[in-house]
Amino acid sequence: MVVDPGAAIVGLVGVGCLALALASLRHGSWIRRAYGTGPVDDTSARANALVMGVAGASMLAVAVAIDLELPERAVGTAAILGTSALCIGVGWAVRRYDRRDLLTTPNVDRETGKRLGTAAMLCGVLVLPLAGALWLEVDAGLVVLLATGAGLASLLSIGIAYR
């Protein structure tokens, strides 16, 4: 059985995310310190582990879909839609319910947390046109333009939110 190199890379990154999520649950782990979470702050550690675990599981699902040779159009569109939904969901939880513990920097003040929640929701909305472009199989140049534009706008919105 020959494994697609792209699927292998995505799968390894997914396994890495899952390993980081599990390691962050241990008291005093270096990952907790990297997140800015206190060594005994289990609530924040669990929230970060959940986010990392979902990201890792999603990557593993994409790797399996690639390895099973599912249509690229369907895999790409589903991955973008799932990512968008997760960004919007996490952003909503942070903004509406003050779940700053879901952020990778959970020790931000409430106002910064609200701005970061809004930025996360904006990131989810910004990638939605990319899903449509993949589904409609538009020119690769337009896909790259949409992805680059969404990435830069997302980076800008997160940078502004941290100010």
Residue 135 has pLDDT above 70, yes or no: yes
Q: So what's the pLDDT on residue 106? A: 63
What's the mean pLDDT when you consider all of the chain?
A: 88
Q: How confident is the model at residue 46 (pLDDT cuts 50, 70, 90)?
A: confident
Which of 67 and 39 is assigned the larger pLDDT?
67
> How far is residue 143's CA from residue 131's CA, in Å, rounded to a whole number?
9
Give 9-32 pLDDT, tens digit per residue.
999 999 999 999 998 888 878 888
> Do the Cβ atoms of 47 and 118 come closer than 8 Å?
no
pLDDT tops 90 at residue 68: no
pLDDT of residue 150: 93
pTM metric for this prediction = 0.75
Both structure tokens of 150: 């969404």
Burial class (CB in 10 A: 0-12, 13-18, 19+), 109: exposed
pLDDT, position 45:
81
C-alpha to C-alpha distances, 14 to 35, 41, 51, 67, 126, nearest whole angstrom: 19, 25, 12, 14, 23
